[in-house]
Amino acid sequence: MILKKLWEKAVLFFKDIQIVNRENATDIIEFEVEELENIFALLLFGSFIGMPSPPVYISFELLPVMENEVNLMFERVNLSYDALARLTNVLGEP
Amino acid sequence: MKILFFVGKGGVGKSTLSALYAVKLARRGKKVFLNSIDPAHNLHDIFCINLSSTPREIIPGLAAVETDLNIWVKKYLKETERELKSVYKYQEAFNLHKYFKTLKYAPGIEEYAVFLALEDTVKESKTEDIDFLIFDTPPTALTLKFFALPSVSLIWLKELKIFRQTILDKKEIITKIKSGTRGGLIEKDPVLKRIDTLIARYEEFFSVLKAPHISSVFVVLNPFKLSRSESLLIQQELTNLGINIPYVILNKYTGDDEFMHSLKKEFKDSIIGIMETQNGEIEGVETLDSLELPVGIEQL
Ligand SMILES: Nc1ncnc2c1ncn2[C@@H]1O[C@H](COP(=O)(O)OP(=O)(O)OP(=O)(O)O)[C@@H](O)[C@H]1O
Ligand SMILES: [Mg+2]
User: In sequence order, what are the residues at sequence separation of 6 or more whose Cβ sits closer than 8 angstroms to the Cβ of residue B82?
Assistant: none
- The pLDDT value given to residue A94: 45
* Angle in degrees, CA B52, B53, B58, rounded to 5: 60
What are the φ/ψ torsions at residue B77 (nearest 5 degrees)? Answer: -65, -40
Write down the domain spans for chain A: 29-91
What distance in Å separates residue B108's CA from the closest CA in chain A? 6
Q: How confident is the model at residue B106 (pLDDT cuts 50, 70, 90)?
A: confident
What distance in Å separates residue B142's CA from the closest CA in chain A? 15
Distance between CA atoms of A90 and A84, rounded to whole angstroms? Answer: 10
What distance in Å separates residue A73's CA from the closest CA in chain B? 11
CA of B21 to the centre of ligand 2 (A): 14
CB-defined site of ligand 1, < 6 Å? B 10-16, 38, 42, 251-252, 275, 277-278, 281-282
Distance between CA atoms of B71 and B160, rounded to whole angstroms? Answer: 30
User: In sequence order, what are the residues at sequence separation of 6 or more whose Cβ sits closer than 8 angstroms to the Cβ of residue B163?
Assistant: A36, A39, A40, A43
Residue B223 has pLDDT above 90, yes or no: yes
Q: Is B226 on the interface with A (CB under 8 A)?
A: no
End-to-end CA separation in angstroms for chain A: 40
For residue range B142-181, list pLDDT tens digits in order.
999 999 999 999 999 998 999 899 989 988 888 888 887 7
- The pLDDT value given to residue B249: 97
**Residue with CA closest to ligand 1 atom 16:** B13
Q: Is A6 on the interface with B (CB under 8 A)?
A: no
- The pLDDT value given to residue B134: 98
- The pLDDT value given to residue A20: 59
Distance between CA atoms of B37 and B46, rounded to whole angstroms? Answer: 15
For residue range B246-289, list pLDDT tens digits in order.
999 999 999 888 899 999 999 999 999 999 999 989 999 999 99
Of A76-80, B87-91, B216-220, give the range with the top mean pLDDT: B216-220
> Of B50, A25, B56, B151, which is closest to residue A33 (Cα–Cα)?
A25
> For residue B84, what are the CA distances in angstroms to A53, A62, A67, B125, B278?
19, 10, 10, 31, 54
CA of B194 to the centre of ligand 1 (A): 44
User: In sequence order, what are the residues at sequence separation of 6 or more whose Cβ sits closer than 8 angstroms to the Cβ of residue B59?
Assistant: B23, B26, B27, B285
Average of per-residue pLDDT values in chain B: 91
SS3 A85: helix
What distance in Å separates residue B8's CA from the closest CA in chain A? 25
Mean pLDDT of B2-17: 96
- The pLDDT value given to residue B93: 55
With CB atoms and an 8 Å threshold, state whether A58 touches B93. Answer: no
Residue B31 has pLDDT above 60, yes or no: yes
Q: Is A77 on the interface with B (CB under 8 A)?
A: yes
Q: How confident is the model at residue B182 (pLDDT cuts 50, 70, 90)?
A: confident
CB atoms under 10 Å from CB of B96, counted, come to: 16
Closest chain B residue to A77 measured between Cα atoms? B93
Q: Is A54 on the interface with B (CB under 8 A)?
A: yes
User: In sequence order, what are the residues at sequence separation of 6 or more whose Cβ sits closer than 8 angstroms to the Cβ of residue B261?
Assistant: none
Closest chain A residue to B157 measured between Cα atoms? A58
Residues of A in contact with B92 (CB under 8 A): none
- The pLDDT value given to residue B90: 67
- The pLDDT value given to residue B282: 94
- The pLDDT value given to residue A23: 65
Q: Is B99 on the interface with A (CB under 8 A)?
A: yes
What are the φ/ψ torsions at residue B135 (nearest 5 degrees)? Answer: -110, 125
Q: Is A57 on the interface with B (CB under 8 A)?
A: yes
Q: Is the ipTM of this complex over 0.85?
A: no
Residues of B in contact with A63 (CB under 8 A): 84, 87
Distance between CA atoms of B51 and B44, rounded to whole angstroms? Answer: 6
SS3 B275: strand
> Virtual CA dihedral for B252, B255, B259, B263, nearest 10 degrees?
70
Distance between CA atoms of A41 and B146, rounded to whole angstroms? Answer: 26
Q: How confident is the model at residue B87 (pLDDT cuts 50, 70, 90)?
A: confident
HSE-up (13 A, CA, CB side) for residue B164: 24
CA of B222 to the centre of ligand 2 (A): 14
The proportion of chain B whose per-residue pLDDT surpasses 70, expressed as a percent, equals 97
Q: Which residues of chain A have pLDDT under 70?
A: 1-24, 46-52, 76-94
